[in-house]
Structure 1
Amino acid sequence: METRRLQMLAELARRGSMRAVAEATGTTTSTVSQQVAALAQDMGTALIEPHGRRVRLTSAGRRLAEHAVTILAAVEAAQRDLSPDAPPTGTVRVAGFATAIRAQLLPIISGLSTSHPQLSILVREHEPAEALQLLANDEADLALTYDYNLAPAEPDPAVAITPLWTAPWGLGIPDNVARPSAPGTPEVFRWFRTADWIGNSRNTGDETVIRTLASMAGFTPHLTHQADSLDLVQGMIAAGMGVGLLPMGTSTLPGVHLVPLTAPDVVLRAFAVARRGRDGWPPLALLTDLIFRQSAQSA
């Protein structure tokens, strides 16, 4: 089995078309088609099938593509072991939430273009559940995700998780409303029990935290508005539309005040997540390490 043919299949699984594979590998669509056809003959089973005007992988093709990633990673690891100074090459697909991409990933990418010119990064902005689904479907190599200490993510033995950073969150309120004098998260929540509450439109973690703390304070929150963008959440708060969770230390818009939440604290926890067996792939391992280091510097 030639690794070049496996690479063509793996790229086809990632990119979705013969033309995209040809562009990525610097060859022609005819060559890609021939290599995949030869691999199918080697394996004794069909790996692709017509799908409209394009092709898609068969179930056997998808399974072999998953094996191909591991096999190619092992080959590259062996080559790196023999030539430890050889730079990692390939394309790493990253799906993650906007804050992590902006703060940890983007500063790295500009440096990688100089230090590792043969390594490319594809970025897609997604909330945690979306990013993890892309990871499970082999549509992403690395997921940048988060959860809350009061709404932890379900453990998944199929993935390797690298903790990145934590950040305390508070309650954003309109600047012109009365504020509680008593400390403690339940007291703060109880003070705003009649307010409208703003949640996240694409992640249920915020709502879980709000409902948990409201229950501790003895009421059911009136969750009305939803927004994914923290700037939009702040805009809603400034407009007097409600209150909502926001990271402490963030620059607030005029008309927004942040109330600390303590006892219990509300803490966001960020992670880099990769599928087990693929986390050792040199380009992915390098990028994960760089993101970890960038997170430590930013803490």
Structure 2
Amino acid sequence: MDLRRLRLLAELNRLGSMREVAEELAVTTSTVSQQLAVLAREVGTPLLEAEGRRVRLTPAGRRLAAHADTILAAVDAARLDLDPGAEPAGTVRVSGFATAVRRSLLPIITDLCLHHPDVRLQVLEHEPAEAYALLADDAVDLALTYDYTLAPAALPDSLQARPLWSAPWALGVRAAGGVDGGSAPEVFARLRDEPWIVNSRNVADEQVVRTIASMAGFEPQITHHVDSLALVQDLIAAGRGIGLLPGDQPVREGVALQPLRDPAVVLRSYAVTRRGREDWAPLALILRMLVDGAFDRGPGDRA
């Protein structure tokens, strides 16, 4: 069914006469009559019946007019939803790693509730490779991902990344043992016989460990694959291994952080979307708030 003909039917139901419909929509009365006749043929049932010198809707015409109101309202809502200049409304599906969700997404939720109540967030926790796959399948609208300066991510051409914030990473060791200073390869060389802990769901930190170990001239003994940073710290404190940890976050008792330099290990976070999707009003709003929030943290903490 043609939407223009449905609109004529809805207006006739509202106004009561073809003449008024013609005046309202700036067309001729004959145009209104002809188009409603075409609509009746399309649906296969009479929509109008004579009432003296006027016409009125048949019971089928009134039922279709009620549907027309719903259909036209839905079409208007869809157009408004796709208008970049419209007030943002809708559910934005976000896949991200836990640190970015806590650090970037949670701080903007209060502002969203206060100033943009029609924008809702659906949060899923995933590592970057998983998030990229979800974006490719159109299962999420936004991915919060990361890489390291020593293990840069290869982004598919279909995706677009916006840098958010960065953070130094360090080597987590037992507090009782301690490690003297020096360059990252020198630190690694002194710990070459230790068991190493790497991420179970992302290979980036393992690439960093293997890269620095290669600079130090040895092959690291990867013993544990663990996703939870809290569990990494528990293993370190128990003397079961060593691994990379955020250098700007507190650690539990029994764990010490050994800074890494020459080369430094820096985690870089990104907001990633499919190309061409960033103009959708709710997503554009979230991206703007994420980028503004990253810059509010200061120049030493943004990518």
Look up the match of 2:90: 90
SS at match of 1:170: strand
- Alpha-carbon distance in structure 1 between the residues aligned to 2:214 and 2:84: 54
Unaligned runs of 5+ residues in structure 2 are: 4-74
Look up the match of 1:22: none
Look up the match of 2:214: 215
| Mapping 1:225-264, distance limit 5 Å | 225-264=224-263
- Alpha-carbon distance in structure 2 between the residues aligned to 1:78 and 1:215: 51
Q: Which has more radius of gyration?
A: 2
Look up the match of 1:224: 223
Confirm or deny: 8 A CA contact 1:73 1:278 kept in the other structure.
no
Equivalent pairs, count? 227
- State the 1:75 CA deviation: 4.1
Look up the match of 2:145: 145
SS at match of 2:219: coil
Structure 1: which amino acid aligns with 2:139?
E
SS at match of 1:193: coil
CA RMSD in angstroms, aligned pairs only: 2.2
- Alpha-carbon distance in structure 2 between the residues aligned to 1:165 and 1:249: 13
- State the 1:103 CA deviation: 1.1
- Is 1:187 aligned to residue 186 of structure 2? yes
- Alpha-carbon distance in structure 2 between the residues aligned to 1:193 and 1:88: 53
SS at match of 1:280: coil
- State the 1:155 CA deviation: 3.0
Look up the match of 1:273: 272
Structure 1: which amino acid aligns with 2:173?
I
Structure 2: which amino acid aligns with 1:93?
R
- Alpha-carbon distance in structure 2 between the residues aligned to 1:204 and 1:73: 43
Look up the match of 2:114: 114
SS at match of 1:139: coil
SS at match of 2:196: strand
Structure 1: which amino acid aligns with 2:134?
L
Which segments of structure 1 move beyond 6 Å, counting only runs of 4 or more? 71-74
- Alpha-carbon distance in structure 2 between the residues aligned to 1:267 and 1:105: 21
TM-score of the pair, normalised by structure 2: 0.71
SS at match of 1:95: strand
- State the 1:194 CA deviation: 0.3
- State the 1:289 CA deviation: 0.9
Structure 2: which amino acid aligns with 1:148?
Y
Structure 2: which amino acid aligns with 1:109?
I
- Is 1:127 aligned to residue 127 of structure 2? yes
Structure 1: which amino acid aligns with 2:231?
L
- Alpha-carbon distance in structure 1 between the residues aligned to 2:121 and 2:293: 16
- State the 1:160 CA deviation: 1.4
Unaligned runs of 5+ residues in structure 1 are: 4-70
The change in CA–CA distance for 1:96 and 1:196 in structure 2 (over 3 A counts) is: same
Structure 2: which amino acid aligns with 1:250?
Q
- State the 1:180 CA deviation: 2.5
